[in-house]
Structure 1
Amino acid sequence: MKLSVDGTFLLKLICLTFFVGVQSNDGETSKEWFKIEGKVQAPDAWARLNPDWKLHTYVLIDGGEYRAFLRDDASFSVSVPSGSYVVEVSNPTVFYEPVRVDINSKGKFRARRINHIQPSAVSQMTYPLKFKPGMPYRYFQQREQWRITDLLFSPMVLMMFLPLILIFILPKMMNDPETRKEMENIQMPKYEMPEMSEMLTSLFGGGDAKKTTKSSGSKGVVKRK
């Protein structure tokens, strides 16, 4: 009797589990699906050099949860339920800006740019989506090339030539003669040279002359009593 009761309870539990699973599957399949459509553009020159670029380009939704390939005309279509999705184009050569697409339960679409700095800022885009090419990827750092401007604008060259420019060119640009004369005096100061007679006097007879002048000056003074 006890075994029959336990068997009946186990059978009911299995039936209940199966019924709940069927209901959940019916609920998932009853969701309405909508198509995200768009087109991917490529640079003309690059597309001519790489005619098979569509084979290497994929459309990823939410990081690859849904994936689509491009048609011959570079268009795509992905079926998804209602919700908010991030749509991005994956290409190994060209960068494409990702787009967020919001789909409500009534099937209304809204496409907007992704702004990580200001998530609340909404910048709507046209729908169906149009992905325009951006900058190409650079996997290797470009080697620096020598240029004449690097030499001209180097600190050492500027320190050498800038004072020369100020000395020779700036006075010529001044129209005022007085200002020009002041600049010339500042740049090339004239040192006062002593006369030849004074030099000879100081060399040969300067000492005696000083003594005579001092002695004569002392004799002329008379002490008062």
Structure 2
Amino acid sequence: MKNIQLLVYFLAIYIVHAVSEIIENDSDIGSDFKITGKIEILASKDKEWLTNTQILVDGGEYIAYPRSDGSFVINGLPSGSFVVEIVNPAYIFEPARVEITSKGKIRARKVNYLQASVVKTIPYPLEFRERRKTNYFQVREQWKVTDFLFNPMVLTMVLPLLMLMFLPKMMNAADPETQKEMHSQMKALNDKSSIPDMSEFLAGLFGSDSKKSSKSKAVRKK
């Protein structure tokens, strides 16, 4: 009886161990994919940038470093979609999205967060080149004469002066008939008698209304 119990016990341990190995093997399957690529910085002649460069996958879930020739390999990736970024303090690189199927097929395309449905494929293995240098400081704007001349405050001061300078010359250069017309128009504008007083106009308007109302009341009394 004891021998049967021991046999059952050892069989149970063996089955548990075999099942655990199968599960581990299944989990390892699909995690053997890798992403390869190369980094080039055309603006830099030396290779000092290699020491300050990192390759990040999905924001740092997987991290790799470039080799002396700029190439890199990221191992142990499962199937799925990954965003590969190159991080360097002196240069800016455009990220890339890599999609790995369960069968190991790899496709690379540009990252477009605004239009995710738009797919623009890029060559694989990946090739990264610097987009531009990183600017940590804003360039100070240089002073220009046009900025001063087109300033609203300057325009409000200069334009009336120019009009005072050039209008008399234009009037003197005009024909006598046009000068007479301009003088007559200026007199008409300056003549107060030709322009009705607003207070008199309102008084006459309301006065006529009051007269009409008084007449109507008198008719009713009769």
User: C-alpha separation between the residues in 2 aligned to 1:106 and 1:9?
Assistant: 40
1:38 aligned onto 2:37: yes
Equivalenced residues, count: 178
Deviation at residue 142 of structure 1 after TM alignment: 3.0
Secondary structure at 1:133's aligned position in 2? strand
Partner of residue 131, structure 1: 128
Partner of residue 80, structure 2: 83
Unmatched 5+ stretches in structure 1: 192-225
Partner of residue 150, structure 1: 147
Partner of residue 196, structure 2: none
User: C-alpha separation between the residues in 1 aligned to 2:110 and 2:148?
Assistant: 44
Which of residues 66, 73, 76 in structure 1 aligns to 2:69? 73
Aligned amino acid, residue 115 of structure 1: N
User: C-alpha separation between the residues in 1 aligned to 2:7 and 2:70?
Assistant: 60
User: C-alpha separation between the residues in 2 aligned to 1:24 and 1:100?
Assistant: 30
TM-score with structure 1 length normalisation? 0.61
Deviation at residue 86 of structure 1 after TM alignment: 0.9
Deviation at residue 24 of structure 1 after TM alignment: 1.4
Distance 1:133 1:105, change over 3 A: same
Aligned amino acid, residue 21 of structure 2: V
Aligned amino acid, residue 117 of structure 1: L
Partner of residue 219, structure 1: none
Deviation at residue 11 of structure 1 after TM alignment: 7.2
Q: Quick check: 84-93 or 104-113, which moved more?
A: 104-113
Confirm or deny: 8 A CA contact 2:30 2:102 kept in the other structure. no
Structure number with bigger Rg: 1
Partner of residue 108, structure 2: 111
User: C-alpha separation between the residues in 1 aligned to 2:9 and 2:166?
Assistant: 105
Partner of residue 25, structure 1: 24
* Identity among equivalent pairs (%): 39
**Which contiguous aligned blocks of 4+ residues in structure 1 show a shift greater than 4 angstroms?**
7-17, 162-170, 188-191
Partner of residue 207, structure 1: none
Deviation at residue 12 of structure 1 after TM alignment: 7.0
